[in-house]
Amino acid sequence: MSISATPRRIGLIGLGLMGRPMAMNLLKAGHALTVWNRTASRAQELVAAGAKLAKTPREAAAEAEFLLTMVSDPPALEEVLWGHEGKNDGALGGLRAGSIYIDSSTISPALVRKIAAACAERQVRFLDAPVTGGDWGAREGNLVFMIGGDEATLKEVEPILGVMAKKWFHLGPNGAGQTIKLAMNGILALQVGAMAEALALVIRAGLRGEQLIEVMQASMARSGVLDVKSPLMVKGDFKPSFPLRLMHKDLGLMLDLANQLGVALPATAAAREVYSYVKGEAKEDLDYSAVMRFWKK
Ligand code: NA7
């Protein structure tokens, strides 16, 4: 879905694994980009490529026609948006009436609604727009956005999304994007967790993990995520593409939402226990496929 873009003034907050390559693609497409990151040194490469570095989230938002945020979790986003007491440094305070704010962090639908209300007070249009595709998708401009919010606003941001994504879905009002994203990550966590369990069994039985992978790839059990993750799980290569700490966060957000809605998710709850254990034991940042380590004790 690549669309050629007229240069726009864009602010981008959050230069982690995902935000950095997304920002680089926006710069390469010719947009005027102002970035802010809590750890300023992570902006070096982008500044060298032409981005302006803001001193505060508020400053990153102040000139922006479009503001994007890509931070780790709900507390991080609240800090960035509402700022620190007495400092007047939050991004919301900087946003101009008429601008569009797009959040691509994975957060709760409840926080989405709080942000939507704060934006409405300021005549700012807001989309929840979490993504899937990992850091590879972010680098290649191949992300998939899941959008909640007004359809006419989405139309306006499509030229910008087209720089970062191959596809996007309009899923309903604010919160719909996050709800679908949490449900999808629940499936990924369970699939990878199930693969880890099956590999543990096969290997303990004296067979090779590769045998299970080969058969699975020729069967109905085949899936994109398992094609990518299972060979790395057998090798024990857990370099983070989607960090386990973030998958653990998403399982928590999914269970909170299920609790609010009165839906029982027993398999998700069990999976979260396993991810919690591995997260607690890990000394370094690992990919979520490291859930495999639960069976390597
Ligand atoms: P990363 O690589 O962990 O990056 C997280 C970003 O969030 C990074 O820029 C962090 O800044 C920033 N962050 C974290 N806590 C805060 C606080 N308290 N205040 C301001 N900024 C903060 O995550 P990804 O890029 O892989 O993922 C981003 C989102 O997409 C996440 O919701 C995923 O679930 C999906 P730092 O550089 O550490 O100073």
Q: What is the CATH number of the domain that holds 37?
A: 3.40.50.720
**1 inside domain:** no
Helix, strand, or coil (residue 46) = helix
- Ligand 1 centroid vs 19 CA: distance in angstroms? 8
Higher-pLDDT residue of 139 and 2 is 139
Last residue of a domain, one of 174, 206, 230: 174
166 lines ligand 1 (CB under 6 A): no
Q: What is the CATH number of the domain that holds 186?
A: 1.10.1040.10
Least confident of 3-12, 156-165, 249-258, 288-297: 3-12
Beta pairing class for 131-132 and 52-53:
unpaired
- In this structure, the answer to whether residues 159 and 201 fall within a common structural domain is no
Please give the residue range of the domain that contains residue 201: 180-296
End residue of a domain, out of 174, 203, 220: 174
114 is catalytic: no
Summarised one tens digit per residue, pLDDT across range 181-230 is: 999 999 999 999 999 999 999 999 999 999 999 999 999 999 999 999 99
Instruction: Pick the last residue of a domain from 141, 156, 174.
Output: 174
CA-to-CA distance for 32 and 26, rounded, in angstroms? 8
Mean pLDDT of the chain: 96
84-133 tens-digit pLDDT: 999 999 999 999 999 999 999 999 999 999 999 999 999 999 999 999 99
* Stretch 128-148: mean pLDDT: 96
Pair 216, 226: CB distance under 8 Å: yes
Q: Is residue 4 assigned to a domain?
A: no
Phi, psi torsion values for 131, nearest 5 degrees: -125, 165
Atom of ligand 1 nearest to the CA of 247: 34
Query: What integer pLDDT is reported at residue 257 of this predicted model?
Result: 98
Q: What is the pLDDT of residue 4?
A: 52
Domain identity same for 186 and 233: yes
Band (pLDDT 50/70/90 cuts) for residue 151 is very high
| Dihedral sign, Cα of residue 264, residue 267, residue 270, residue 271 | negative
Q: Are residues 29 and 104 in the same domain?
A: yes
Assess if residue 2 is contained within a domain.
no
Taking the C-alpha atoms of residue 286 and residue 161, their distance in angstroms, rounded to an integer, is 29
Residue in the block written with tokens 């099956």: 198
Structural domain total, the chain = 2
Tens digits of residue pLDDT in 40-90: 999 999 999 999 999 999 999 999 999 999 999 999 999 999 999 999 999
203 in a structural domain: yes
Q: Is 240 a pocket residue for ligand 1 (Cβ < 6 Å)? A: no
Q: How confident is the model at residue 296 (pLDDT cuts 50, 70, 90)?
A: confident
Indicate whether 50 and 169 sit together in one domain. Answer: yes
Tell me, using a 6 A CB cutoff, whether residue 178 lines ligand 1: no
Q: Ligand 1: does its nearest atom lie under 6 Å from the Cβ of 6?
A: no
**Closest C-alpha residue for ligand 1 atom 30:** 105
80: in domain: yes
How many other CB atoms are there within 10 angstroms of residue 152's CB atom?
A: 8
Question: Ligand 1 atom closest to Cα of 245?
Answer: 3
The reply to whether 150 and 219 lie within a common domain is no
Residue of 71, 135, 184 with the most ligand 1 atoms within 8 Å of its CB, for mutation: 71
Selecting among 28, 114, 155, 181, the annotated active-site residue is 181
Which two tokens mark 88?
A: 């007047």
Ligand 1 centroid to residue 103 C-alpha, Å = 12
Shared domain for 33 and 138, answered yes or no, is: yes
Asked if residue 25 and residue 122 are part of one domain, the reply reads yes
Is 15 close to ligand 1, i.e. is its CB under 6 Å away? yes
CA–CA distance, 228 with 117 (Å, rounded to integer):
40
- pLDDT, position 5: 61
Q: Is residue 290 part of a domain?
A: yes
Query: Does position 1 have pLDDT exceeding 80, yes or no?
Result: no
